Amino acid sequence: MARLKKRKTTKSKEKKVEDLDVEPITCELLGIKEWSYSSASTDPVRYGRYHCSTFSEVHLWGSKRWVVGTYIVVDFESLQDEGLSDDEIVQGCIKFLNTPPPRRKFQRKVRKPVYGNLNQAPVSYSFVEKNGQRVISTLIVTDKRKNKKFWGEGIKV
């Protein structure tokens, strides 16, 4: 009787995004409604949505880190004309979003970032058009399971 051999698997050859030392780039997150088909202008708006898919490439996914889908609004065409690469633009925006708001007068407690501690390198990103404006669609890793600024909550594994 012949022995079964182990199947050889090939590693994924996807391009990994590396952390770059970049300057923060001023940007903002695009507000989205909870349901995309809702047309009422009075519906509440938040700035991202927790992703429910499994991300095995994210270290400690589901226990200490969660993935959020967002749209970043930035004038990336002018930044590309200045000579910045796509990775530098996206990581500069994430670095800007990671900065905590300034402290109030007489406040002792150090403020935390609004969206949690975001990893500088996103899981993925692409340049898309949303509501008539060009934005960056990104999947960002955060350390907050529940955040008032995002729809839903992260899956606990």
Residues 24-82 have pLDDT tens digits of 999 999 999 888 776 677 788 999 999 988 888 888 888 899 999 999 999 988 999 99
Question: What is the per-residue burial (b if ≥16 Cβ within 10 Å, else e) of 113-139?
Answer: eebbebbbbbbbbeeeeeeeeebbbbb
Domain ranges (residues) in the chain:
22-33+45-101+111-157
Sign, CA dihedral 136-139-144-148, equals: positive
Give 68's strand partners: 50, 140
Q: What is the pLDDT of residues 107-150, one digit of tens each?
A: 888 889 999 999 988 999 999 998 889 999 999 999 999 999 99
Q: How far is CA 57 from the centre of its chain?
A: 15
pTM for this structure? Answer: 0.82
